[in-house]
Amino acid sequence: MAGEAEDGPVLEAVGVSLRFGGVRALTDVSFGVKRGEVFSIIGPNGAGKTSMVNCVSGRYRPTEGGIRFEGRDITRLPTRKRAAIGIGRTFQNLALFGHMTVLENIMVGRHHLLRKGFLPGMLWWGGAQREEIAHRREVEEIIDFLEIQHVRKAVAGQLSYGLRKRVELARAMALKPKLILLDEPMAGMNLEEKEDMARFIIDLNEEWGMTVLMIEHDMGVVMDISHRVVVLDFGRKIAEGRPEEVMADPHVRSAYLGEADEVVQEPAEALEPTAP
């Protein structure tokens, strides 16, 4: 398991509720993610996990409640500005530029860190050239870390699913985030690919110092690498704590055994939440 987290939350969800018309995706959800920990959000399908992460990343704005990052209220902060203050993410459905190379996709993640103007960048003058070289050096370090050197010049859309997952993680890492949001990083992977991804997540937490907020359905992975877990069901928090404590909770066991009478489906991604 990753190293022990530092005291104090880097991220706080405070009474977050989210409605899509008459559908409640989230109801009064609160939790805190400590700096330096791997924190997982789990729950049955349709429980509101991705909706919660979308509220953290800025894709959705909570109908009620708020999000705080390093003590700052970011509830109304645009997504691009959340990236600038240190929040990066991957997606359940891959969002790579399929026609671009692996290296080019990862370099996109460095875009908000560029400091030189448009004209020097286009003409590659002095400072712009040095800046480009510096960014390339950091990207190559990420490529080495994720063991994708052999595909660095390959077109992303032609790679296997597992390798594309690594490239998306690399692009999120290139943001140099303090908090990285991983939406089902192991979905669709075989056992060997899952083991590799779990190792990378532990290392980016321990060696790269990134706090991790992860959605993951593989309970073996969650139990092995998470410091703490929050469980959502029908858009409400039903448990929070260390993995072994949470999985022993009768409410959690009931939710996963499907004993509830009805399931509230998570809204389609195309829908937008009701304005607060």
Q: What is the pLDDT of residues 238-252, one digit of tens each?
A: 999 999 999 889 989
**Widest CA span of the chain, in angstroms?**
66
What is the predicted pLDDT for the residue at 5? 53
Is residue 92 assigned to a domain?
no
User: d(Cα 271, Cα 248) in Å, to the nearest integer?
Assistant: 35
Q: What per-residue confidence (pLDDT) applies to 117?
A: 45
Whether 213 and 179 have beta carbons less than 8 Å apart is answered as yes
pLDDT tens by residue, 265-275? 444 444 556 55
- 209 and 259 in a single domain? The answer is yes
pLDDT at 261: 42
Compute the distance between CA of residue 18 and CA of residue 229 in angstroms, rounded to an integer.
21
Q: Exposed e or buried b for every residue in 156-193, given b needs 16+ CB within 10 A? A: beebeebbbbbbbbbbbbbbbbbbbbbbbbbeebeeeb
- Give the pLDDT confidence score for residue 274 in this predicted structure: 57
Question: Which ranges of the chain does DSSP label H, i.e. alpha helix?
Answer: 49-57, 79-84, 102-108, 118-123, 126-145, 161-174, 191-206, 219-225, 243-247, 250-257
Q: Judge whether 74 lies within some domain.
A: yes
Q: What is the CATH number of the domain that holds 216?
A: 3.40.50.300
Model confidence at 144, in pLDDT bands (50, 70, 90)? Answer: very high
110 shares a domain with 157: yes
Confidence of residue 123 (pLDDT cuts 50, 70, 90): very low
Q: Which amino acid is at 264?
A: V
For residue 26, give the nearest of 55, 3, 1 by alpha carbon. Answer: 55
Least confident of 94-103, 107-116, 142-151: 107-116
Rounded alpha-carbon distances, angstroms, from residue 113 to 108, 110, 191, 203, 209: 10, 5, 36, 23, 19
**How many domains does the chain divide into?**
2
For residues 28 and 14, what is the distance between their CA atoms, to the nearest angstrom?
8
146 shares its domain with 106: yes
SS3 content of the chain, % helix, strand, coil (to 5): 40, 25, 40
Answer yes or no: is pLDDT of 120 > 60.
no
Last residue of a domain, one of 176, 200, 229: 176
One domain, residues 17 and 63: yes
Residue 123: inside a domain: yes
Asked if 126 and 82 sit in the same domain, the reply is no
Residue 215 — pLDDT band, cuts 50, 70, 90?
Answer: very high
- Whole-angstrom Cα distance, residue 122 to residue 176? 24
pLDDT the model gives residue 111: 63
Q: Which residues, 6 or more positions from 22, have their beta carbon under 8 angstroms from its beta carbon?
A: none
Whether 121 and 213 have beta carbons less than 8 Å apart is answered as no
**Mean pLDDT to the nearest integer, 226-240:** 96
At residue 141, the pLDDT reads 93
Across 169-186, average pLDDT: 92
pLDDT digits (tens, 9 = 90+) for 52-82: 999 999 999 999 999 999 999 999 999 989 9
Q: Are residues 56 and 192 in the same domain?
A: yes
Range of the domain at 57: 1-86+178-276
What number is the average pLDDT over the span 188-203? 93
Mean pLDDT of the chain: 85
Separation CA 159–CA 156 (nearest Å): 6
208 and 141 co-located in one domain: no
Q: Are residues 34 and 160 in the same domain?
A: no
Q: How far is CA 189 from the centre of its chain?
A: 17
Q: Which of 268, 275, 271 is nearest to 46 (CA)?
A: 268
Per-residue model confidence as pLDDT tens digits over 35-44: 999 999 999 9
Length of the chain: 276
Question: Do 192 and 82 fall within a single domain?
Answer: yes
> DSSP states of 72-107 as a string?
EE-TT--HHHHHHTTEEE--SS----TTSBHHHHHH
Q: Does any domain span residue 93?
A: no
Q: Is residue 136 very low, low, confident or very high in pLDDT (cuts 50, 70, 90)?
A: confident
What is the rounded average pLDDT of the residues 210-238? 94
Residues 133 and 268 in one domain: no
